[in-house]
């Protein structure tokens, strides 16, 4: 049986390289190709992150902190005409104790300016706190960036927040509808009510249309319009229909009396209504907000604030497409 050959250890002197110097071991130089690949990967990751941040910012998924002076509070005609003093005091106390919990919504106007869409009360409260305390923490506001497709969508976003958070008065709703039509955002009040308050029940949309008429007739004469109760507002509109001269008389009465508060103004209006001719009861039934239908022998009568050229065109197209034998 053959014996295995045994390997002998090296007996020659090893090369003396001297003592190992203290400190970290010298880095092994990376090949140039590896350096370029690593740099390219880092750059690609940074670019991807920047793109994701930009998309999140555009889509309103990233909260931004902006200086108060960068926000254009008057970018939109506000639906709320004034802020309740007690509500504002409570909001300011909450902001002072806990900070801003809910961002406002803004749209980018360019050149470092942002237009307010919703959150007017929070912005106003922060501005008051900044002026009163001088604390830097109140000088910035948390925002979500929105990109509404046109002014009508921006107004809708504002209305939806206020409808959910703090109920608007019927006068404020009617005023907003009237101004939206005046600005050319909608063809007529009925279209504006449908566009801005489409989720409201039909009865509420009908009342909003009535307050559009109230705003148009007496908006400049009323000193406390947001305090007018729903029932009184509808009675005023009915009186205006029955007596075309009522608006002028009411305006003159209010201008002469200069009521000091909402209660005094309401009493003046009620007194004037008692002297006005009784309004005739509306005929027919309401089939849509602002549209009443009355069936008479041989004809149908449509009436109301929602009756206009747009409805006439839609009805004409419907009748033209209808099969008379069907």
Percent of the chain with pLDDT over 70: 69
Contact 196, 176 (CB under 8 A): yes
Higher pLDDT, 162 or 120: 120
The per-residue pLDDT for range 181-238, each reduced to its tens digit, is 887 778 888 888 888 888 788 888 889 999 999 999 998 899 999 889 999 999 999 8
279-311 confidence digits (pLDDT tens): 555 677 777 777 888 887 778 888 877 787 778
pLDDT number for residue 5: 54
For residue 207, count CB atoms less than 10 angstroms from its CB and return exposed for 0-12, middle for 13-18, buried for 19 or more: buried
Do residues 253 and 234 make contact, with C-beta atoms less than 8 angstroms apart?
no
pLDDT at 88: 84
139 versus 61: the higher-pLDDT residue is: 139
Kindly report the pTM of this predicted structure.
Answer: 0.49
Taking the CA of residue 79 as centre, how many other CA atoms within 13 Å lie in the half-sphere pointing to its CB?
25
pLDDT > 90: what percent of the chain? Answer: 23
**Main-chain dihedrals φ then ψ at residue 237, nearest 5 degrees:** -65, -40
More confident site: 113 or 148 = 113
How many C-beta atoms lie closer than 10 Å to residue 170's C-beta?
23
| pLDDT value for 36 | 60
Give which of 162, 171, 175 is closest to 234, Cα–Cα.
171
**Least confident interval from 26-35, 113-122, 222-231:** 26-35
**Per-residue confidence (pLDDT) for residue 198, from 0 to 100:** 80
**Cα-to-chain-centroid distance, residue 298:** 47
More confident residue, 71 or 119: 71
- The DSSP H or E segment spanning 253 is helix 246-257
Q: At residue 302, what are phi and psi to the nearest 5 degrees?
A: -105, 135
Is the pLDDT score of 17 beyond 70?
A: no
Alpha helices in 147-245 (DSSP H): 151-165, 170-182, 189-196, 202-218, 230-242
The Cα–Cα gap between 81 and 222 comes to 13
pLDDT of residue 164: 44
Residue range 316-325, pLDDT digits in tens: 888 777 765 5
In this prediction, residue 183 carries a pLDDT of 73
List of residues 6+ apart from 24 with CB closer than 8 A? none
pLDDT at site 269: 93
Asked if pLDDT for residue 26 goes beyond 80, the answer is: no
Question: CA–CA separation, 124 vs 127, rounded Å?
Answer: 5
Does position 149 have pLDDT exceeding 70, yes or no?
A: no
Average pLDDT, rounded, for the chain: 77
CA distance 1 to 152: 102
Give the residue from 226, 224, 238 showing the smallest Cα distance to 168: 226
């Amino acid at each position: 049986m053959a014996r295995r050959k045994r390997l002998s250890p090296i007996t020659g002197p090893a090369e003396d390289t001297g003592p190992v110097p203290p400190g970290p071991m010298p880095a092994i130089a990376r090949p140039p190709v590896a350096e370029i690949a690593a740099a390219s990967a880092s750059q690609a990751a940074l670019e991807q992150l920047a793109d994701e941040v930009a998309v999140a910012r555009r889509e309103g998924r990233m909260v931004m902190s902006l200086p108060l002076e960068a926000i254009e509070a008057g970018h939109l005609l506000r639906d709320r005409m004034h802020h309740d003093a007690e509500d504002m005091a409570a909001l300011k106390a909450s902001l002072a104790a806990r900070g801003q919990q809910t961002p406002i919504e803004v749209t980018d106007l360019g050149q470092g300016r942002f237009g307010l869409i919703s959150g007017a009360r929070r912005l106003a409260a922060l501005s008051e706190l900044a002026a009163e305390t001088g604390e830097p923490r109140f000088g910035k506001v948390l925002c979500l960036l929105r990109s509404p497709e046109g002014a009508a969508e921006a107004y809708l976003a504002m209305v939806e927040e206020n409808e959910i958070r703090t109920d608007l008065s019927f006068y404020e709703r009617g005023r907003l509808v009237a101004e939206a039509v005046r600005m050319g955002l909608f063809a007529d009040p009925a279209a504006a009510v449908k566009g801005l308050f489409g989720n409201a029940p039909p009865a509420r949309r009908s009342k909003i249309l009535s307050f559009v008429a109230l705003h148009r007739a007496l908006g400049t004469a009323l000193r406390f319009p947001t305090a007018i109760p729903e029932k009184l507002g509808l009675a005023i509109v009915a009186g205006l229909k029955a007596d075309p001269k009522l608006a002028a008389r009411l305006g003159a009465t209010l201008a002469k009396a200069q009521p000091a508060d909402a209660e005094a103004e309401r009493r003046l209006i009620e007194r004037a209504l008692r002297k006005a001719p009784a309004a005739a009861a509306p005929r027919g039934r309401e089939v849509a907000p602002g549209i009443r239908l009355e069936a008479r022998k041989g004809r149908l009568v449509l009436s109301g604030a929602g009756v206009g050229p747009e409805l006439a065109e839609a009805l004409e197209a419907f009748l033209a497409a209808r099969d008379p034998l069907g």
